[in-house]
Structure 1
Amino acid sequence: MRRVLVLGGTREARDLAALLHADPAVSVVSSLAGRVREPVLPVGEVRVGGFGGRDALAEWMRGNRIDAVVDATHPFATRITANAAWACARAGAALLVLRRPEWVAGEGDRWHAVRDLAEAAREVPALGRRVFLTIGRQGVDAFAGAPGRYLVRAIDPPEVAMPAEATLLLDRGPFTLESEIALMREHRIEVLVTKNSGGALTSAKLGAARELGVPVLMVARTPVPPGVASTSDPTAAARWASGVA
């Protein structure tokens, strides 16, 4: 039986786990980092909590005879991806990165590409003072010293410094276009800050920004490490993990 580790926490990871769980020739375990208090769990075997670094991950993989790893973590979980690449090389396991496609600007969008959150914080004052911050709870402290009034939306409360003038909204997608427009109007949002995570669960905010003429500071992804195979299709990832492709 082929042993597969899915580094998860995303919708794509849950879809993949379901496909692999249905394959009698595959034994799959999904690993969640444990950073969300009430995560949506995939089907099948699940472990919650970090491995303790790349060395511990490689040791765990060897001890559990892992043949293949699919990194289906959040597109901005770059440290996990780097650790997975290192650990797979040491443990002799194959690695595939499963990433949803990026969002692409369309007609009417007013996107400003930035490399990271620090650059986004520097650019905010030039675009507006009422800011909708939708980057999750990690990295909010990059805006702690930035001027303006912030609406910070996250699933769990940030454990880092917040902007001086901030309203915290705890919520989880999917969101609708209508609700996002209403929220942005209620808080008189002048600029939206987000990461280019892709996917449909949280894309409605981009449509709302387009409708309202609100500029978007879009934080770019870090590329997949050189030499690591990747796909955006859970079905293709399942074929790869099962040894079919």
Structure 2
Amino acid sequence: MTLLLLAGTAEARALATALQGQDVIASLAGATRDPAPLPVPVHGGGFGGVEGFAAFLAQHEIHAVLDATHPYAARITQRSAMVCADMGVPFCQLLRPPWVAGPGDDWTEIASEDKAAEHIPQGATVFLGTGRQTLDGFANLTGRRVICRQIDAPEGPFPFDGGEFLVGRPPFSVADEIALFRRLGVDWLVVKNAGGQASATKLVAARDLRIPVLMIARPALGAWSQVASVEAALAWVARL
């Protein structure tokens, strides 16, 4: 059986490590320019849409697809699930549990990036922990200082006035985030509800510094098979 692992997360790396030695191909879409190597063969750069993905599955005789991409990679997940259903290929998504606010957290959920301006006052310093792919959605944050952290160095200028890039490669400790937020004078933190422990340090820092958080809601759940942990994903593979 040949398994296609849609990768790009810490969970995908753990799966690749656990499955090395088996017939596995990992796929990286290319969102990060210099990703850490995986211990299985890697297909990089995407597939070229629906037809390209279907052709890849057929050409490489893929028997099952395990999607361990980011919880907000909705287009990749929806396309993959649709093509797999059409071709009769088993498909499962590993979707890590979302973060849940606890005592001391000041979170407000918003439906999309463009809703942030309804909550953040003029003159505020805004830290975006949302990545560069949806940056254009914050273009209405005029009159605020907007700082977007990304892994890779920017390839061009910030896409709208009042913004700046900050390059940083995770992981970041709570102490790192507290020091950074204090140095920048952050008034608001905007994140996607990605879940997971590694990237939750910025939320702990925001709680400790009493910084309000805007939490962008997750995409709607699909009707395909889903699991919530690496262990459950490996069990799904074993059942095949």
TM-score of the two chains, using structure 1 as the length reference: 0.91
Q: Deviations over 1:157-184 (max 9, x none)?
A: 2768534122311112111111111111
State the match for 1:99 in structure 2.
95
Contact 1:129 1:148 in 2 (8 A): yes
Moved over 6 A (4+): none
Match status 1:143 vs 2:142: no
State the match for 1:172 in structure 2.
169
State the match for 1:38 in structure 2.
34
- Segments of 5+ residues of structure 2 without an aligned counterpart are none
Distance 1:197 1:160 in 2: 27
Contact 1:141 1:161 in 2 (8 A): no
1:182 maps to which of 179, 182, 187: 179
Identical aligned pairs, as a percentage?
41
State the match for 1:133 in structure 2.
128
Count matched residues. 238
Give the partner amino acid of 1:184. Answer: F
Q: Deviations over 1:107-128 (max 9, x none)?
A: 00000000111112332227x7
State the match for 1:74 in structure 2.
70
RMSD value, Cα? 1.7
State the match for 2:17 in structure 1.
18
Cα distance change on mapping 1:115 and 1:129 into 2, 3 Å: same
Cα distance change on mapping 1:41 and 1:232 into 2, 3 Å: farther
Contact 1:140 1:161 in 2 (8 A): no
TM-score of the two chains, using structure 2 as the length reference: 0.93
Deviation for aligned residue 1:242: 3.3
Distance 2:166 2:82 in 1: 37
Q: Deviations over 1:62-115 (max 9, x none)?
A: 121111101111110000001101110122210000122211100000000001
State the match for 1:235 in structure 2.
231
Cα distance change on mapping 1:158 and 1:12 into 2, 3 Å: farther
Distance 1:41 1:159 in 2: 26
